[in-house]
Structures are given as structure tokens and as C-alpha cells.
Amino acid sequence: MVSYRLAPEAKADLERIWFYGLENWGLEAADKYYAAFFTILNSLQSNLICTLQLIFVKATGAACVAPKA
């Protein structure tokens, strides 16, 4: 399975976003917003894998199945 790694700059950005959310909307909202980033990243990753499967296995008639989280 393909995985992603966040650059140190991206990690720092997410940390700053979390602290901004904490200061402006509280802990629960900051945590939910932070978690949503990873939900979206995982969805993008699954869609990329599916797209690559379609490109490379189209000739075999194989179905595209997104990996289970």
C-alpha cells in the first residue's frame, strides 16, 4: 500500500492550525478540525491508489477497490 509522509513544514502548519483552533474555538473543535485533515488525506490517498489501479490494470478487467482504512 502506498503511504504518505508529511513534510516538516506541513506538520508545523498543522500544529499552528490546531493551536489557532484551540485559541478561537476550544479543544474539541481544534481536535475535530485537525482530525478532518487526516480524514481528507487518507481519502485522497485512497483515490490516488484507485486511479493508479485503473490506469495500470484496465486491460485485465480488474475492479478498482479502495483499501480499507
Interval 14-44: pLDDT, tens = 999 999 999 999 999 999 999 998 888 877 7
Q: Is the pLDDT of residue 66 over 90?
A: no
* pLDDT tier, 58 (very low <50, low <70, confident <90, very high otherwise): low
pLDDT band at 6 (very low <50, low <70, confident <90, very high): confident
The pLDDT of residue 36: 92
Average pLDDT, the chain: 80
Instruction: Label residues 28-60 b or e (16+ Cβ within 10 Å = b).
Output: eebeebeeeeeeeeeeebbeebeeeeeeeeeee
Q: Helix-strand-coil percent breakdown of the chain, rounded to 5?
A: 75, 0, 25
Helix (H) or strand (E) segment spanning residue 45:
helix 27-57
Choose among 65, 64, 9, 66: nearest CA to 43: 66
Domain ranges in the chain? 9-60
